[in-house]
Chains A and B, each alone.
Chain A
Amino acid sequence: MNTSARQFKEQATLLTQDLRHRQLIQTAIGKYEVVRDRVRSRYQDWNAARQAAAEIKWEAVNHLDEHLTRFATQLEARGAKVHWASTGAQAREIITNLLREKQARSIIKSKAMTSEEIHLNAALEQAGFEVVESDLGEFIVQLRKEPPYHIVFPAMHLTRHQISELFTRELGSAPTADPEELTLIARRVLRQKYVRADVGFTGANFAIAETGMISITENEGNARLTAALPQVMVTLLGIEKILPRLEDLALFLPMLATVGAGQGLTCYNSFYGGPRRPGEPDGPEEYHVVLLDNRRTELLADAEQRDSLHCIRCGGCLNVCPIYRNVGGHSYGTTYSGPVGSVITPHLRGLLEWKHLSYASSLCGACTDICPVKIDLHHHLLQNRRNASASKPSRLERLAFKVFAYVINRPGCYALVKKVGRMAQRLHPLVKGSRLDPAYAWTKTRDLPPIAKQTFKEYWSSRK
């Protein structure tokens, strides 16, 4: 077993037994589900909306080259600078060089999973810059020095009391369990940072090819301040964020809000398309957009799983996933967790190192049913398994399936095996549930029914 798989199993073992965690997540997601379903029921035909969204994304992804060029050309025509990064390392280098060039010291950031993906904060801090996350959840996990627990709700795993303790410890604030007050504490700290920041850094929810604009949707207003106050603005986004037309947002913004947070629409929706123009009172003097590939083109080349580039990172599949709910976001050890993470991480970071995530699924399909852009998530897990077994089969497992096939395909042999099994199982109580039990993985926590005194096939032939 490789390191990532071992770590996953260790973490999963801890978290699945942590009943406090189970309850916390169950409650948080339970509340979300109520509002999500209420908002979703306002759609005349939710499935038709999903179909339309999937088709728009299909068009965007299958003509990605054209849309990206259009997007970049328009942006540059308005004075923005577009950078293309093939790898995470390149993106980090582009951004670090830019900050050095601007002699920046302090960077304020709004939420950007792509920056997590390329471990930007660590690189910037190492290069001597101060980096502050301005999204409340991100701010909290940054103080805790841990990655986001969830792509939409980074601090979902924490209680108010834990956050209060954290603030007291790190910021010296008075303890309080009132969410409003906790928000105010963070705001007081962050307001100072906005004013002092040299560079504002954002992610993007969508990139509109038609108009050359990025769209950011948020509830706290922190991305607006991040974009408006500093002199220089930098946006990092994956190349799959493209939507062909501005009007597509009329569908995508509400859908993202619905599945993402159970809202009809998020509170703040902003567009950015370039630096401050002559006569405009505010906005950055320079605007840089970094487009990140980081092996997304590998997914693009895979016709079977190309639709996973449709993902709008709404987090819906994480919320419905019984595996995610039980092992929690950190166990995955990936930037993108839950079903979508299990599907794409093997493509982004290597199949053999990350295949275990595709096996860690009961293939229940709840993810595929919720996905607003109709990504065939659970079937992609099956394909990852097939690809993994084809490229590096487990000898033991393959042998087991070969033996199984040999036996089951020969009725006489199968009947005999059942008879032997019936005799052997009399000895089972001696070892049941112990390490010596060949069925230990099952019997440690569960009973196993015996082979029946008369199997169905025996019954059937006795009837004839």
Chain B
Amino acid sequence: MVVTLFIPCFVDMMYPRVGISMVRILERLGHSVRCPESAACCGQPAFNSGYWDEARTVAEKTLQALADSEVVVIASGSCGAMIKKFYLDLFRGTPNERAAADLAGKCYEFSDFLVTRLGVTDLGAHFPAKVTFHDGCHGLRELRIKSQPRKLLEKVRGVQLVEMAEEVCCGFGGTFAAKFPMISTAMGEVKCSHALATGAEYIVSNDSSCLMHIQGLLDRQKSKLKTIHLAEVLATT
């Protein structure tokens, strides 16, 4: 099938390898991938800050760019929640209401797409390391994605998955991280301590935004613990 891959702005700029890994995996599975140039950002920063008009300006463009797709794969749980759930609120009562609902119906977060839509769990990946998995809150609680990434990780050769003691937010929260850096940092420290306690070498997640926050803290603390996106793990051979 023709898969439209939506690469959100921060993945484009800072984590291109995540996007590239997704392209490789999808192509390896025999699908053809398209990435519309004009789809750049889901509009979440403005939306979460309460500026819905400005958010709509950005979201409209993305909505149009993705509208005629057969199926859309979103490279982040958080942007996935924005497009799949919050576009319905954002466009309610506007001429784009229908289009938003149509789009919501054919959107998948990456791991959800592989497991739920394609029914694939074994990608032949090989990643010999002890890892723990961080659920991005938007993916977890807005999209209810929890088992999918674990099913995928289970099939990776060499991976040993150790769960953290608690399922808790990493403290990123978009503009929250800059508006309340002290709270965000404290939350991140708690998260890192849970991850460290597992003895894992890597924190794997399906959301680069959380990983940006966690890795940023770990780097500052000169920790040996590393973060990696699920797609990068799955793209290994």
Query: B190 to chain A: which residues have CB within 8 Å?
Result: 22, 26, 322, 325-326
Question: A452 interface residue, CB < 8 Å from B?
Answer: yes
Nearest residue (CB) in B for A421 is B13
- Evaluate contact between B9 and A449: CB separation under 8 angstroms: no
- Evaluate contact between B16 and A454: CB separation under 8 angstroms: yes
- Evaluate contact between A401 and B49: CB separation under 8 angstroms: yes
Question: A364 interface residue, CB < 8 Å from B?
Answer: yes
CA A405 – CA B59 in complex, angstroms? 9
Nearest residue (CB) in B for A406 is B57
A459 touching B16 in the complex, CB below 8 Å, given contacts A405-B57, A408-B40: yes
A442-B216, A449-B215, A460-B35 known; 8 other A-B pairs, CB under 8 Å?
A362-B176, A365-B141, A382-B48, A398-B54, A409-B57, A441-B178, A449-B15, A460-B19
- Evaluate contact between B215 and A447: CB separation under 8 angstroms: yes
CB distance from A20 to the nearest CB of B (A): 13
CB distance from B39 to the nearest CB of A (A): 10
A361 touching B173 in the complex, CB below 8 Å, given contacts A322-B187, A389-B50, A409-B57: yes
Query: A461 to chain B: which residues have CB within 8 Å?
Result: 37
Q: Binding site of B, secondary structure by majority: helix, strand, loop or mixed?
A: helix
Nearest residue (CB) in B for A444 is B181
Most buried by B among A26, A401, A418: A401
Query: A9 to chain B: which residues have CB within 8 Å?
Result: 180, 182
* Residues of chain A in range 394-426 having any CB-CB distance to chain B below 8 Å: 397-398, 401-402, 404-405, 408-409, 411, 414, 418, 421
* Chain B residues packing against A (C-beta within 8 Å): 7, 9, 11-17, 19-20, 35, 37-38, 40-41, 43, 45-52, 54-55, 57-58, 61, 137-138, 140-142, 168-169, 171-188, 190, 212-213, 215-217, 219-220
* Chain A residues packing against B (C-beta within 8 Å): 9, 12-13, 16-17, 22, 26, 322-323, 325-327, 359-366, 368-369, 382, 385-390, 393, 397-398, 401-402, 404-405, 408-409, 411, 414, 418, 421, 441-442, 444-452, 454-461
Nearest residue (CB) in B for A358 is B50
A362 touching B137 in the complex, CB below 8 Å, given contacts A401-B49, A454-B16: yes
Query: B175 to chain A: which residues have CB within 8 Å?
Result: 359
A445 touching B185 in the complex, CB below 8 Å, given contacts A322-B190, A450-B14, A452-B13: yes
